[in-house]
Chains A and B, each alone.
Chain A
Amino acid sequence: MDLVEQVKSRVEAAIAGSRLEIVPNDSPSGQRSLLVDAEHGVAVAKFLRYDMELRLDYCSNVTGVDWPEAEVSQKVKVKKVVEGVEKEVEEIKKTKRPGFLEAVYHLYSMEKKHGPVIIRMRTEDRAERNHLPSLMPVWRSAEFQEREIYDLYGIVFEGHGDLRRILMWDEFKDHPMRKDYREPDDYEYEPTPHDEVLEKAKQHASQEAAP
């Protein structure tokens, strides 16, 4: 499907300064997505929604994904002198990828009946700079789903208007869908220490002591 390239060139031609990047997908589904810079997020979304050719009037699915800091190994071709002859050798290069949170939007067109066009936006990091522009002003279907991402992942959507917790209760502190979420030792209202709970508490204590 070359739709992704078309969409990319059209968006970049229409919106000055926007930087889009195609995210590859090796699975047989072949659904590649477009990484949009958060700065131009709303402008790009508006273009996708109102452009005559695309008319992506239906935002089906909005999701958060957590990517903690990790070591990524990449195959890189390096020129090396092997036994006196210069050759291209594949080497595995390990780089440290900083952690970030990601919001993924699956867009379809009800008018033209095509799709999906998948766009994603990434936060700068997982702690402080976790803000993204909200696309709820463009697609109202993002209302509850962005609230859910805020609740479970902790991405703050600017311009949402009603960003409250939706599934967890208001007093809840953490974001349970994050990969490093630590579940409580005990789920009881009045904790009663017994075997399982004590074991879990011990485990958590050792994890905290380790780094």
Chain B
Amino acid sequence: MSDAIIEPEVKEPETQVVSPPEGAGEVNYTILPKPDSSGELLEVAMGPQHPSTHGVFRMDVVLDGERIVKLKPVFGYLHRNHEKIAENTTYLGSMPYTDRLDYLCSMTNNWGYALSVEKLAGLQPPERAEYLRIITAELTRLVNHTCLVGFLLQDMGALGTPLMYAFRQRELILDLFESLSGSRMMCNYMRFGGCRVDLPAGWLEQAKKVTNDFPRFFDEFEKLLSENEILVARTQGVGVLTADLAINAGITGPMLRASGVNYDIRKVDKYGIYERFNFRVPLGDHGDVFDRYMIRVLEMRESLKILGDALRDIPAGPIMDPKAKIRGFRPKAGEAYGRIEGPKGELGFYLISDGSPNPYRYRVRPPSLINLTLLEDMCLGLTVADAVIILGSVDIVLGEVDR
């Protein structure tokens, strides 16, 4: 153990962007960069009604000819102060509300919240509940990534076909969710110390059938897309993100791993029972949009491995911790931060309890919002059409960005 402190390398993260134009990523946002051509700068508000922004999100873009010289994301159109609402209700009361954060992945949102409260209250879900959580979470990952790939292609101009192929497959999983929890998207399935209901009859067989169909869908999808000349031309070398910059900006999830950083919270924290499953973490080389697309496809194949094992090994037993109290739930005063590897990145919940039935402080660490930190750095010097697919590859859901 050496006590030597490394002097901070004077590397401004901004300068690490691959060939940034002058004034890139300057913190002083009030100064407009000078146009290098003779033309005038054009300010465009992309959104909040633009179809490529995946919701009500605005990018204030300054263009010099075709090139982006400044880009400021503007949030808050969907802001409803989720955190304040949660502080005014009981712990369980905000469980259904977490579904509405990232409305494509309600199961993982439930799990993130349940995990934090379990840390706060010292609960331990039984074996079968852990398996149910892993199965539903990995199915959610499939839902999210199929959607993302479909939407990304939609942004690129491949109208309809890939998105419909993806939605066709996603619908099969949503059917599973509906028969399990009663709702396709707003599942509200997990509870502190377990899950709400057990599997209905025949669910496992149906789930096995759906997951066994998936590899064929991937093969078809990849044949259609991965080597497609237009996709390759549009995505390779676009929106490059270096590993150092990505770590510094707190980028997580597939976007971080596309830049080549081996950091998957399923492997690092080993929450739930993930250490029992054998899966690999796919990593990218270049950190461009193509890598981000490819990482998602590869991750889905790894998820299928986990699903195959989990669906085979799931034991019988109770699905709730007997210590868990549904009514009159008051954790001891203290605080806890729990995090999971959501499909979009690290989803964390920070809770402070003061011993009352309501949380004193409830905070969501939204991966979508923090992954947008580097949007400007990635887009500078590129065209508007590139910015659209870069935003598509970041994978945001505005319910979570604005909360």
A interface with B by C-beta (< 8 Å): 10, 13-14, 25-29, 31, 33, 46-47, 49-53, 57-61, 63, 65, 104, 106, 110, 113, 116, 118, 139-145, 152, 161-162, 165-169, 176-177, 181
Contacts and interface: CB of A to CB of B under 8 A. Distances in A.
A27 to B, nearest CB: 3
B250 A141 contact: yes
Interface string B140-176: 0000000000000000000000000000000000000
B79 A168 contact: yes
Contact of B335 (A10, A31, A145, A166): A31
> Which of B81, B335, B372 is the most central at the interface, judged by chain A CB atoms within 10 Å of its CB?
B335
Contact of B5 (A14, A61, A141, A167): A14
B253 interface: no
20 contacts: A25-B334, A25-B335, A27-B331, A28-B120, A29-B337, A50-B9, A52-B5, A57-B248, A65-B361, A106-B350, A140-B249, A140-B373, A140-B374, A141-B250, A143-B373, A144-B369, A144-B373, A168-B76, A177-B83, A181-B84
Contacts of B316: none
Given A28-B121, A140-B373, A61 B333 contact: no
A116 B370 CA distance: 18
A132 B337 CA distance: 23
Given A63-B350, A145-B370, A161-B27, A176 B84 contact: yes
A117 to B, nearest CB: 11
Contact of B348 (A28, A31, A61, A140): A61
A60 B348 contact: yes
A52 B336 CA distance: 27
A60 B334 contact: no
B203 interface: no
A177 B268 contact: no
User: Which are the 7 A-B pairs with shortest beta-carbon distances?
Assistant: A141-B250, A27-B334, A28-B122, A161-B27, A29-B336, A29-B119, A167-B76
Contacts of B217: none
B332 interface: yes
Interface in B331-386: 331-339, 346, 348, 350, 352-353, 361, 363, 365, 369-370, 372-374
B4 A52 contact: yes
B317 interface: no
A118 B350 CA distance: 12
Interface string B65-83: 0000000000110010101
B37 interface: no
Contact of A60 (B4, B76, B120, B365): B365
Contacts of A166: 75-76
Given A59-B250, A116-B337, A169-B76, A28 B365 contact: no
Q: Which of A110, A142, A168 has the most CB of B within 10 A?
A: A110
B122 to A, nearest CB: 3
Contacts of B119: 27-29
Contacts of B2: 52-53
B28 A161 contact: yes
Given A31-B335, A53-B1, A63-B350, A141 B248 contact: yes
Given A27-B333, A106-B350, A50 B7 contact: yes
A31 B8 contact: no
Contacts of A25: 334-335
Contacts of A113: 263, 268
A7 B6 CA distance: 16
A141 B207 CA distance: 38
Given A27-B331, A58-B247, 9 more contacts: A25-B335, A26-B333, A51-B6, A61-B337, A61-B363, A106-B337, A110-B247, A166-B76, A177-B81
B13 interface: yes
Nearest to B72: A162
B288 interface: no
Nearest to A165: B76
A58 B348 CA distance: 14
Contacts of B338: 29
A27 B330 CA distance: 12
Contacts of A14: 3, 5
Nearest to A27: B334
A181 B350 CA distance: 21
A60 B250 contact: yes
A116 B122 CA distance: 18
Interface string B221-250: 000000000000000000000000101111
Which of A28, A104, A169 has the most CB atoms of chain B within a 10 A radius of its CB? Answer: A28
Nearest to B4: A52
B291 interface: no
Contacts of A110: 247, 261, 263
Contacts of B353: 27
Contacts of B9: 50
Contacts of A145: 370
B402 interface: yes
Given A141-B370, A168-B76, A50 B336 contact: no
Contacts of B331: 27
Contacts of A161: 27-29
Contacts of A116: 337
Nearest to A142: B250
Contacts of A26: 332-334
B8 A50 contact: yes
